[in-house]
């Protein structure tokens, strides 16, 4: 993806889209969709597996992750990696966005592609590098943590 809007198709179109790819509409895929339908914001794959297992203990992680891959290809969700490398999925994203994460308190914030535009443009112009904004996580120290920081004594 680039820094453009992610086109999110409607859920009711999914069944036909899966069939067009030669994939079946299975109870396991339906369960993943039911879980995702009730999810807002970011969720990890392991959280989705656990939510599915609460409803069907026989759910296998491989089925969940394969379904997530297909759903991402179709634009129903996108994934990013947090500062610790943790893969997170964003359900029905309106637009591609990056993240800021405080390395002290662990809080994170979404930033839209426009906020990252300067960095993205600089890397493209200076290095010919095209950034996938949705995979961009910038770590640092938030304003609250910076203002509460104890100064390091001089040696």
Residue 57, number of CB atoms within 10 A of its CB: 7
Q: Which residue, 91, 120, 138, sits at the end of a domain? A: 91
- Cβ(141)–Cβ(108) under 8 Å? no
Same-domain check for residues 104 and 119 = yes
- Cβ(32)–Cβ(64) under 8 Å? yes
- Residue range of the domain that includes 80: 11-91
Q: Is the pLDDT of residue 126 over 90?
A: yes
The per-residue pLDDT for 93 is 64
Q: Which residue, 44, 68, 91, sits at the end of a domain? A: 91
Q: What is the pLDDT of residues 1-60, one digit of tens each?
A: 333 333 445 667 888 888 898 988 889 888 998 898 888 777 889 999 999 999 999 999
Summarize the confidence of residues 120-138 as an average pLDDT: 86
Q: Which residue, 91, 110, 138, sits at the end of a domain? A: 91
Same-domain check for residues 86 and 20 = yes
Domain membership flag for residue 110: yes
The per-residue pLDDT for 5 is 33
Same-domain check for residues 52 and 103 = no
Record the pTM.
0.66
Q: What is the pLDDT of residues 39-50, one digit of tens each?
A: 877 788 999 999
The per-residue pLDDT for 152 is 52
Q: Is the pLDDT of residue 153 over 80?
A: no
Number of folded domains that form the chain: 2
Bridge partners for 84 per DSSP: none
Same-domain check for residues 66 and 102 = no
- Cβ(23)–Cβ(91) under 8 Å? no
Mean of per-residue pLDDT scores for the chain: 81
Same-domain check for residues 17 and 74 = yes
Which CATH number covers residue 57?
Answer: 1.10.10.10
Q: What is the pLDDT of residues 67-84, one digit of tens each?
A: 999 988 888 888 877 666
Same-domain check for residues 101 and 73 = no
Same-domain check for residues 15 and 85 = yes
Summarize the confidence of residues 119-142 as an average pLDDT: 87
């Amino acid at each position: 993806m680039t820094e453009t809007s992610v086109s999110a198709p409607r859920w009711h179109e999914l069944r036909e889209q899966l069939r067009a790819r030669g994939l079946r509409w299975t109870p396991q895929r339906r369960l993943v969709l039911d879980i995702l339908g009730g999810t807002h914001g970011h969720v990890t794959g392991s959280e989705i597996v656990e939510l599915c297992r609460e409803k069907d203990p026989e759910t296998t992680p491989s089925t969940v992750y394969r379904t997530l891959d297909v759903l991402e290809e179709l634009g129903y969700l996108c994934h990013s990696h947090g500062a610790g490398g943790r893969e997170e999925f964003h359900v029905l994203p309106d637009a591609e966005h990056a993240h800021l994460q405080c390395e002290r308190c662990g809080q994170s914030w979404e930033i839209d592609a426009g906020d990252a535009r300067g960095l993205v443009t600089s890397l493209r112009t200076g290095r010919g590098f095209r950034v996938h904004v949705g995979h961009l996580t910038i770590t640092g120290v938030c304003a609250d943590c910076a203002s509460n920081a104890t100064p390091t004594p001089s040696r």
